[in-house]
């Protein structure tokens, strides 16, 4: 029970397919107590059974990260109901649809600002506002994707946001290390979630990743959840500012591997289909 005695807040559970749910489950299984947040009243009733499922200690608070007053109120609720906490999971991203397909250079300033505000600035603001309730041995985790490092078709605006998020993770890690707060990111492989369904041709991304990753399959929210739990726990006490890939190894590939059978005959075509 490596999370026994740990308390934390998880932002970004939309449903049981969310990556944040995978992380919450892994933390619960290891003995953590958690609070979770919902975006607005429309989502409150959907998340109530999930809060229940995550254990009697799971509390449910509103938090739209585009509203600074809701982040401040979240801190007050945590202070009142939980006292100090030991971890924060920031599993939130949003870009207007125009930013997730088509020509990149067509993006409007408004779409750019919204994506950066919700997907990047929110991490800084949450950490700053919640810092008074963070213990001096705490861990913050955010979620990134390989499209913040290399070009991925249609990921467009979110790729730029993830690049900024990964650097934000490093600058926060240095800034907060002196306060005993670690900040890390997981760069997860593609997973079919609500947010992912907004990305153009996402099912192709899933097929491509599974065909070309060393493990020849996609990752699950359980796998990301377990790695997330490790980064939130004291098992990773010496780790901060890291972007940890949980992507079946896809990021190490410089070129799609061409598989050969024992007779030396090619078995996988360039497009990942069996040959
Ligand atoms: P998800 O289940 O749809 O989760 C995204 C969450 O962000 C939702 O709970 C959503 O709330 C929340 N959100 C959006 N705008 C918000 C706002 N203004 N205030 C508060 N919450 C807001 O999708 P997911 O795939 O698990 O995404 C979680 C994180 O993982 C994101 O950062 C995503 O970029 C990252 N990631 C995903 C993949 C993938 O392939 N799925 C891969 C790598 C990284 P509502 O649903 O209530 O709107």
Shortest-distance atom of ligand 1 to CA 165: 32
What is the Cα 112 distance to its own chain's centre? 20
| Angstrom distance (rounded) from CA 266 to CA 257 | 11
Task: List the one residue out of 185, 45, 35, 157 whose CA is nearest residue 98.
Answer: 157
Contact 65, 11 (CB under 8 A): yes
| Angstrom distance (rounded) from CA 131 to CA 147 | 30
Ligand 1 and 93: CB distance under 6 A: yes
Residue 270 reports pLDDT greater than 70: no
Instruction: Supply the pLDDT for residue 275.
Output: 76
Q: Is-catalytic flag, 155?
A: yes
pTM, 2 dp: 0.95
CATH topology of domain 7-274: Rossmann fold (3.40.50)
Task: List the one residue out of 89, 39, 35 whose CA is nearest residue 224.
Answer: 89
Q: What is the mean pLDDT of residues 225-247?
A: 98
What spacing in Å lies between the alpha carbon of 155 and ligand 1's midpoint?
14
Lowest mean pLDDT among 52-56, 80-84, 166-170, 228-232: 52-56
Task: List the one residue out of 12, 255, 215, 259 whose CA is nearest residue 123.
Answer: 12
Using DSSP's 3-state secondary structure scheme, residue 142 falls into strand
User: Per residue in 9-53, pLDDT tens?
Assistant: 999 999 999 999 999 999 999 999 999 999 988 888 899 999 999
| Extents of the domains making up the chain | 7-274
Shortest-distance atom of ligand 1 to CA 145: 43
């Amino acid at each position: 029970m490596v999370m026994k005695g740990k308390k934390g807040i998880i932002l970004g559970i939309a449903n049981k397919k969310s990556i944040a749910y995978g992380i919450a489950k892994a933390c619960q299984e290891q003995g953590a107590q958690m609070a979770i947040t919902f975006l607005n009243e429309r989502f409150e009733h959907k998340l109530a059974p999930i809060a229940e499922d995550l254990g009697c200690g799971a509390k449910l608070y509103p938090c739209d990260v585009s509203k600074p007053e809701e982040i401040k109120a979240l801190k007050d609720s945590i202070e009142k109901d939980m006292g100090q906490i030991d971890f924060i999971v920031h599993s939130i991203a949003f870009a207007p649809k125009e930013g997730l397909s088509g020509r990149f250079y067509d993006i409007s300033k408004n779409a750019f600002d919204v994506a950066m505000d919700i997907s990047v600035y929110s991490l800084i603001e949450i950490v700053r506002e919640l810092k008074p309730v963070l213990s001096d041995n705490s861990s913050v985790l955010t979620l990134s994707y390989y499209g913040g490092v290399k070009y991925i078709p249609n990921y467009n605006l979110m790729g730029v946001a993830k690049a900024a998020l990964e650097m934000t993770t490093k600058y926060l890690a240095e800034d907060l290390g002196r306060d005993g707060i670690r900040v890390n990111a997981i760069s997860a492989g593609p997973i079919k979630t609500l947010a992912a369904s907004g990305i153009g041709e996402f099912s192709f991304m899933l097929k491509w990743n599974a065909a070309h990753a060393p493990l020849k399959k996609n990752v699950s929210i359980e796998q990301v959840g377990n790695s997330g739990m490790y980064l939130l726990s004291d098992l990773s006490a010496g780790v901060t500012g890291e972007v940890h890939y949980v992507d079946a190894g896809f990021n190490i590939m410089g070129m799609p591997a061409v598989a050969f059978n024992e007779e030396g005959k090619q078995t996988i075509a360039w497009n990942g289909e069996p040959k």
